[in-house]
Amino acid sequence: MEKKEKDNMASSGWSTFEVILLDGIETSFISCKSCFKLYNINSGRAVLTSHQCKASKDKSSSKTPTPLSKEEKEKLKTLAVLVCAAELRPFALFDGNAMKAFNKQLIEVGANHGNVSLRSVSFCKYYLLGEK
């Protein structure tokens, strides 16, 4: 997925949002540039202008993050490649705002709850579809 700033959004004070593009075509979704929260573009101006970006609040109130070591970065890179290969997904999977928002939420869960069980944050398709 790609992102595109919309001219009329910038002029109406929505400069903190980007339109989500899928294969170069605009979708009906926009996302906050800071926290990646997704909205339907038809949600209305009031919904978007009332958005209080949690990311900017988190930056000011949280402790300074510790940089990842070279080994940690390499492990994440290897796992990302394995995910794409095993699930037959493009590497661009990790570029989208939805994936960034999901990863950010996982990091927040870890920060708030410590080293949680993988079971508590894993979702199967049946759970996501509301079938189980």
Spell out the per-residue pLDDT of the chain, length 132, in tens: 445 555 555 445 567 788 888 777 888 888 888 888 888 888 777 777 788 776 655 544 456 778 889 999 999 999 999 998 998 989 998 888 888 888 888 888 888 888 888 778 777 776 767 765
- Judge whether 116 and 109 are in contact, CB under 8 Å: yes
How far apart CA 110 and CA 117 sit, in angstroms, is: 10
pLDDT of residue 10: 46
97 domain-assigned: yes
Q: Number of folded domains in the chain?
A: 1
> Against a cut of 0.75, is the pTM above it?
no
106 domain-assigned: yes
- Give how far the C-alpha of residue 116 lies from the chain's centroid of Cα atoms, to the nearest Å: 20
pLDDT of residue 36: 80
64 domain-assigned: no
40 domain-assigned: yes
33 domain-assigned: yes
**Domain of 18, in residue numbers:** 2-58+92-128
14 domain-assigned: yes
73 domain-assigned: no
86 domain-assigned: no
